[in-house]
Amino acid sequence: MAGVVALTGATGFIGGALCQPLAQAGWRIRALVRRAPDIALASRIEWVRGDLDDVAALRRLVANADAVIHCAGAVRGRSLEDFDRVNVHGSERLLHTARAELRCTRFLFMSSLAAREPTLSWYAASKHHAEEVLRQQSGALALTIFRPTAVYGPGDRELSPLFRFLRRGLLPVPGNQHARLTLLHVHDLVTAILRWLDSSPPAAGTFELHDGRADGYSWQTIAAIAARVQGRPVRLLNLPRTGLTLAAAVNLRLARWLRYQPMLTPGKLRELRHPDWICDNSALAAALGWRPRIDFERAMREGLSG
Ligand SMILES: NC(=O)c1ccc[n+]([C@@H]2O[C@H](COP(=O)([O-])OP(=O)(O)OC[C@H]3O[C@@H](n4cnc5c(N)ncnc54)[C@H](OP(=O)(O)O)[C@@H]3O)[C@@H](O)[C@H]2O)c1
């Protein structure tokens, strides 16, 4: 099946990575944007100017669309309201608009593995709440929720500093040395989305996604893999717990005062220090026949880390 896809978040990391593969697969893309896009494919995408608050823009976005892929989301904020405004209320508004469009039969919400742990942060709480609201209100629309773990690859800004440190032989560890992390390369996420678009009937439900390494990684494993690939040692750098906690608190205060959207906050630190981000791909593999292909070692070896 190929038709019209209504896409949000096309100017971001994940939505941006999706545009070219979608177009190559024959989909016509209609994308919601708040600012002039600089994506190379611009001419092959119909841009709808507006944001998730703007119901008229959302109607134009979903008109005659076969599917909605909702990648827009707030990943930084200085209050729960900042996250809820976009992740809960914006998503709910988009779902309602899509429900009113008869042609549209499937809706993909890009949630996060963090939704599993809503007490950790405002971000996690907002994703958890958004999932609940969308499940309650999806009606006849086939709703699919993807819960990717930490995603990286070309165009990513959040994990790219970590890769820069690794190339210099250092791995900063923000907390628990024994924590289990999981990762997902953006190309594998894109493949899963394309498979979901082709699934018939649409694979509905809530799915966790990781890179196929079922037992995840420890910080030591990440350092060991990077050392092996680069052919030189990588040293773990334990960031001082109290200093980091203080920095996050100060950053949040400054952000409220100077009105910017902070990344490092006490909530983000709790996410980073959480001991167990192991998750399970098997439901998505069974539903879509999807298999991730790029684990951390391959990404390092082939320069795919971004
Ligand atoms: N990256 C990860 O590791 C990861 C992991 C799990 C889940 N996710 C989820 O995946 C989604 C995409 O993440 P990302 O890494 O691509 O984030 P990103 O690079 O920060 O992109 C966010 C996108 O959402 C758009 N957006 C934000 N607020 C909006 C609003 N009010 N109205 C319309 N558009 C709005 C942004 O538009 P502007 O360009 O105009 O700001 C941008 O296009 C998010 O929902 C995130 O929670 C990401």
Cα of 147 to ligand 1 centre, how many Å? 14
Residue among 243, 273, 6 at smallest CA distance from 124: 273
Query: pLDDT tens digits, residue range 11-26?
Result: 999 999 999 999 999 9
Query: pLDDT tens digits, residue range 241-297?
Result: 999 999 999 999 999 999 999 999 999 999 999 999 999 999 999 999 999 999 999
The architecture CATH gives domain 4-153+183-212+278-293: 3-Layer(aba) Sandwich (3.40)
**pLDDT surpasses 70 at 40:** no
**pLDDT surpasses 60 at 148:** yes
Cα distance from N-terminal residue to C-terminal residue, the chain:
31
Q: What percent of the chain has pLDDT over 70?
A: 98
Phi, psi dihedrals of residue 21, rounded to the nearest 5°: -60, -35
Cα of 8 to ligand 1 centre, how many Å? 8
**pLDDT surpasses 60 at 120:** yes
Could you identify the atom of ligand 1 that is nearest to the CA of residue 17? 16
Q: What are the b/e assignments for 226-244, b being 16+ CB within 10 Å?
A: bbebeeeebeeeeeeeeeb
pTM: 0.96
The domain ranges of the chain are 4-153+183-212+278-293
Q: What is the CB < 6 Å shell around ligand 1?
A: 8-9, 11-15, 32, 34-35, 51-52, 71-75, 86, 90, 110, 112, 148, 150-151, 158
Instruction: Please tell me the residue having the least CA distance from ligand 1 atom 46.
Output: 73
Query: pLDDT tens digits, residue range 200-239?
Result: 999 999 999 999 999 999 999 999 999 999 999 999 999 9
Measured in whole angstroms, how far is the alpha carbon of residue 33 from the centre of its chain? 17
Nearest-5° angle of CA 211, CA 213, CA 219? 100
